Amino acid sequence: MLDDIARTAPERHLVRYSGRGVFSPGIIARAEGSSVFTEDGHELLDFTSGQMSAILGHAHPEIVATVREQVARLDHLYSGMLSRPVLDLAQRLAGTLPEPLDKAMFLTTGAEANEAALRMAKLVTGGHEVVSFARSWHGMTQAAANATYSAGRVGYGPAAPGNFALPVPDGFRPGIVDADGNLDWRRQLDLGFDLIDAQSVGSLAACLVEPVLSSGGVVDLPPGYLLALRDKCRERGMLLILDEAQTGLCRTGDWYAFERDGIVPDILTLSKTLGAGLPLAAVLTSAEIEQEAHDRGFLFFTTHVNDPLPAAVGNTVLDVLSRDRLDVRARELGVRLRGGLAELAGRYPVIGDVRGRGLLVGLELVDGPGGKDADKLGAAVTRRCAELGLHMNIVQLPGMGGTFRIAPPLTATDAEIDRGLAILETALAETAGR
């Protein structure tokens, strides 16, 4: 039973920072591995890796040891001072990336990293116009929020001029189809840029996209799309910025999701997975772009830029990912997870689609019998999963309430994947029926 503080504190003292149901019931007391535990002892299998971040699970012993050791030695510095963890992390991250991505700066959140990347792109190109997907999420700071279309645009006054939305190449719900009824993403991309060119004042600076749209419904860009998008950018003198907050560092089965497409972005942003749950983000770019930005007076100064404590954690994250080959593990677990979800789809017609890469998987419900719409059905399944011991993240956007983001830690066991699938099936059986 919830005590009086747990029942009343959210209403009395906490700002609600998103829509209805922002706070889950119960007070979380601790977390370990793939599970979180409430004060009253209820265990929740965490299939969202916290806020899609804890790729090594909770309280990983090597992360715990790094934090204890580093905070006692060196935690925070004046922003102009350098430390060994920062220098090591910059060098090591560059070693995981293709050339010419060899310059890094370290920040705290994905929004902050995207803000810095857009500021750099505008300064280097001399333009100000930004293109991003119509169901994008890049953060809630100014430039990042202006490039976000999935939520948060209503009620805050005019957005900055020069922000354009590009149609999402969604294979399950295609906007433009070929003669066989399949998504015609090339034609859609051409038409999207025809509209952008018509609206542009000739000041295009950057295109900011995720290789797999997460809040946008776990939409994996079709093979070849990123290459074609890069060419569109080059034709217009724009920089291509890839936001790999959720896809970077092994979650999709590759170290970086863009590797599949054989392209290299002009600027790469990392966040959530880099700190494995702690606040650490990065902007990476080429020496050429960094030099041009520096020559033009690039300024992005924050209190915690290049702090040693989170950088030390980032180094430990790289240690574990490499040693334990978690890119391979993410592929293996992803096959197991998607295979189990595909079996459920064969038994439950309300499952319309299973998609994703590695351990970033989307499950989309469709309208069920008896007039149950997907949004309401998704909410009911989510509630029942939580009651049975599984935290499943749901995309809380109008018309997308039936789309789940499933992202267990890369350290999850086969048994935990199977347990999550079993709980999901029970929830589906009780709320949707066969």
State the catalytic residues. 137, 210, 243, 246, 272, 405
Pairing of strands 129-133, 204-209: parallel
Q: How far apart are CA 204 and CA 56, in angstroms?
A: 39
Q: How far apart are CA 272 and CA 280, in angstroms?
A: 7
Q: Are 345 and 362 in contact (CB under 8 A)?
A: no
Q: How far apart are CA 406 and CA 360, in angstroms?
A: 6
Handedness of CA 348, 351, 355, 361 (dihedral sign): negative
The sheet carrying 403-406 orders its strands as 351-357, 360-365, 403-406, 393-394
Strands (DSSP E) contained in 82-125 are 101-107
Around Cβ 243, how many Cβ atoms within 10 Å? 30
Pairing of strands 43-46, 35-38: antiparallel
